Each structure stands twice: as structure tokens, then as C-alpha cells.
């Protein structure tokens, strides 16, 4: 659907939509106080899943755009104007509060999307089994033809490494710096892939591509210190994001996977 059609479906009146920058997966449009997200061929359930994730984060105390309309064809969200660029202490406190929340089980009752890649629904009480079977193995199968000998090495690490646990918590699920918006209202999170996991998954993505400066980490550690065993598990969790990058962008990301395997090999 065209962005104008999504505004009409939401029964909102606004100026003509104009393309926005950003959006590695979706196409973004600005229409006055609204942002419209579209995709030329969205997987079924992708946009409703994002809307549910945004609502879950907001309910947990995270600043996000309001979801004004959600459907298979896209989303209509409130526009958060950009503000100062150094909300790092506030972001650290906000994420620490999120990561301190506790849930009963790992997982999500509906399919989860990492980009456009669908991951199966389901819940589990054991973290190591859940992360391998519901998160890593679907990506391993999807990328097997591109992994070459690295695939067998990866299987061996998955079979023997047991990550530490702090407890099930709601996570953003794709927390690179491009999904943090420094708005006039404070730091906000966008484009989530929400599910219940270990906070290390968020921390791993935050360190994979950089973008979070020392003041953020200093304040985060003040609110919720990161134990040594969790810090040592972060490269393992990065396999999740490296595999999806191999899937979408090719074997250029194999070196990152091989780096992780040397740590645990």
C-alpha cells in the first residue's frame, strides 16, 4: 500500500508524505506529526509483530513512538522530533530498568522477526536450549550453504557451550545504535524485535557494531553491573546477529563468526 493509503486506513489527515532517510528494512515516510512504515513485500505478520513489540516496550517504561495504526501493509506511528544527542545517562537508566524486569519464561507466543527473517514462536524455561533451538538453529539452517566448513565448527560450539543466566527479561532484540533515537522527549527505541530473553542479547548487539560511547556504559554499570560471566557470553550471543547478516548480506560476515568460534573453540 502507498503511505497515503495507510494514513487513510488510520483515518488521519496530514500533509503529503515525504520520504525519510534510514530504514534498512522498511521504507519510511514523514507526514507532519506521523511516520509511515511500508515495505514492498512484507512477510505476513512482520508489521503487527513490530507494533506489539513497541507497545510492550512502552508498557515497560521505554519511550517509543506511539502506534496509531498497524496492519499487514505497514505502520503509522507518531513522529518524535530529534533532540540533543547526549541522552546517554538517561538511556542507560532506561535500559537498566527494562533489563531488571523479570518474566516467567523465555520466548514469545507469536513469530518474531529479525529484519524480515521470521523466527518461530514458543516459550521455554531453559535459556540455553531455547536460544539454540528457537534463535540460532533457524538461522543456521538458512545460512548453511554460505557457511562452508564454518558450519560444522559452529555446530560444535552450540552443542557444548552453556551460556549463563540472570533470568528472563523483556529485550529490544535488535539494539544497534541506529535503533536509538535521541528525541526532544529523551532517548527512544525504535524498530524492535521484542521477545523475552537474557539481557546479554541486547548488550551483545550494542557492542557488535559500536555506537554506544563510554558514558553510556559507565552509567549502565552503575544501575545494573554486568557480571564477568555475562560479559564473557556476549560474543556467543553475537552469533545470532552475525548469522542474520550472513543471511541478508552474504559471507562477508563469516569472519565475525570465525572470530567468535575461536573464543569458544
Q: Provide CB contacts within 8 A for 133, sequence distance 6+.
A: 124
For strand 122-124 and strand 117-119, is the pairing parallel, antiparallel, or unpaired? unpaired
Sign for the CA dihedral angle at 242, 169, 98, 76 comes to positive
What string of H, E and C letters represents the secondary structure of the chain? Answer: CCHHHHHHHCCCCCCCCEECCCCCCCEEEEECCEEEEECCCCCCCHHHHHHHHHHHHHHCCCCCCCEEEEECCEEEEECCCECCCCCHHHHHHHHHHHHHCCCCCEEECCCEEECCEEECCEEECCHHHHHHHHHHHHHHHHHHHHHCCHHHHHHHHHHHCCCCCCCCEEECCCCCHHHEEEECCEEEECCCCCEEECHHHHHHHHHHCCCCCHHHHHHHHHHCCCCHHHHHHHHHHHHHHHHHHHHHHCHHHHHHHHHHHHHHC
From the list 24, 86, 153, 174, the catalytic residue is 174
Residue 86 annotated as catalytic: no
Q: Which residues are marked as active site?
A: 174
Amino acid at each position: 500500500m502507498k503511505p497515503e493509503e495507510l494514513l487513510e486506513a488510520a483515518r488521519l489527515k496530514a500533509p503529503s508524505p515525504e520520504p525519510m532517510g534510514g530504514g534498512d528494512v522498511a521504507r519510511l515516510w514523514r507526514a507532519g506529526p506521523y511516520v509511515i512504515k511500508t515495505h514492498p513485500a512484507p512477510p505476513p505478520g512482520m508489521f503487527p509483530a513490530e507494533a506489539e513489540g513497541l507497545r510492550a516496550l512502552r508498557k515497560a517504561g521505554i519511550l517509543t513512538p506511539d502506534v496509531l495504526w498497524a496492519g499487514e501493509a505497514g505502520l503509522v506511528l507518531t513522529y518524535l522530533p530529534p533532540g540533543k544527542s547526549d541522552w546517554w545517562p538517561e538511556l542507560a537508566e532506561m535500559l537498566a530498568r527494562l533489563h531488571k524486569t523479570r518474566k516467567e519464561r523465555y520466548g514469545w507466543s507469536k513469530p518474531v522477526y529479525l529484519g524480515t527473517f521470521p523466527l518461530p514462536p514458543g516459550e521455554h524455561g531453559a535459556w540455553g536450549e531455547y536460544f539454540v533451538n528457537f534463535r540460532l538453529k533457524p538461522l543456521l539452517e538458512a545460512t548453511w550453504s554460505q557457511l562452508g566448513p564454518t558450519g560444522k565448527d559452529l555446530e560444535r560450539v552450540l552443542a557444548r557451550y552453556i551460556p549463563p543466566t540472570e533470568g528472563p527479561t523483556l529485550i529490544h532484540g535488535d539494539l544497534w545504535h541506529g535503533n536509538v533515537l535521541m528525541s526532544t522527549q529523551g532517548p527512544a527505541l525504535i524498530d524492535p524485535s521484542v521477545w523475552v530473553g537474557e539481557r546479554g542479547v541486547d548488550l551483545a548487539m550494542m557492542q557488535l557494531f559500536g555506537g554506544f560511547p563510554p558514558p553510556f556504559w559507565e552509567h549502565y554499570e552503575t544501575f545494573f553491573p554486568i557480571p564477568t560471566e555475562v560479559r564473557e557470553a556476549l560474543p556467543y550471543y553475537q552469533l545470532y546477529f552475525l548469522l542474520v547478516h550472513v543471511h541478508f548480506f552474504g559471507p562477508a560476515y563469516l569472519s565475525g563468526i570465525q572470530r567468535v568460534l575461536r573464543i569458544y573453540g
